[in-house]
Amino acid sequence: MDKDFAGKVAFITGAASGIGEAVARQLAERGAKVVIADLKLDAAQKVADAIKSSGGEAAAVAVDVGQIDQVEKAVNFTVQTFGKLDVAVNNAGIGGAAAPLGDYTFDDWHKVININLNSVFYSMKYEIAAMLKTGGGAIVNMASILGSVAFPNAPAYVAAKHGVVGMTKSAAIDYAKKGIRVTAVGPGFIETPLLQGMSKEAHDGLTAMHPVGRLGKSDEVAALTLFLLSDAASNITGSYHLVDGGFTAQ
């Protein structure tokens, strides 16, 4: 395994499970020191411990990404623990309530927008400040296929993910000459804890929407994410990359 992230420090939100965990594990395998940031500290610590037991370097921190002060503390924790910040993945998110726009409650709207969109702004604000101190870095924002297409009964989620894609492009332009690259990844429906509890009928229905005939895997999304964070992607910024089994090609 190439250690192309050796000497790099990574900060990943929502890293206690699913895509975030896969990203953290793959970064650690390739030499990065990783901070597992998650709302569930116990789960985050388990991931960090597993990485350390495999010979990697990791630390866990609790964060509610919808709270500005907690995001600031988590990024500061990263710098204080490992000395700097080189790469970041803003992955934390929620599915939110399902309802057509006219029936969507204000509380549900604000919750989804805060966790899925505002949190990316909060995170990038502090990540960029840390990266500028050491000459640059790379950020991947986890969007969704719903950053480019719609889906029934998901007005807040669709709006938030479209917003993440737009914010990614804006930040990429602002910091392109300052050594910071910013890209977005748009997974299709992935086998993650967000889909737990779904009926077999609903799961089969989602699967049928993907031309490849299956849902994606967290490791597949992580592989693309690591490429975008790596020096091999040094001329890639401001772009949005899909991992969707052909979903949006239809």
Domains, the chain, ordered by start = 9-189+217-243 (3.40.50.720)
pLDDT at 11: 99
pLDDT at 194: 67
Q: List for the chain the helix, strand, coil content (%; round to 5).
A: 50, 15, 35
240 is catalytic: no
3-state secondary structure of 186: strand
Q: Which of 104, 122, 126, 157 is catalytic?
A: 157
How many angstroms separate the CA atoms of 200 and 198, rounded? 7
Residue 151: closest CA among 206, 195, 103: 206
pLDDT at 160: 98
How many angstroms separate the CA atoms of 41 and 35, rounded? 12
pLDDT at 1: 57
pLDDT tens for each residue of the chain, 250 residues long: 589 999 999 999 999 999 999 999 999 999 999 999 999 999 999 999 999 999 999 999 999 999 999 999 999 999 999 999 999 999 999 999 999 999 999 999 999 999 999 999 999 999 999 999 999 999 999 999 999 999 999 999 999 999 999 999 999 999 999 999 999 999 999 987 767 778 889 889 989 999 999 999 999 999 999 999 999 999 999 999 999 999 999 9
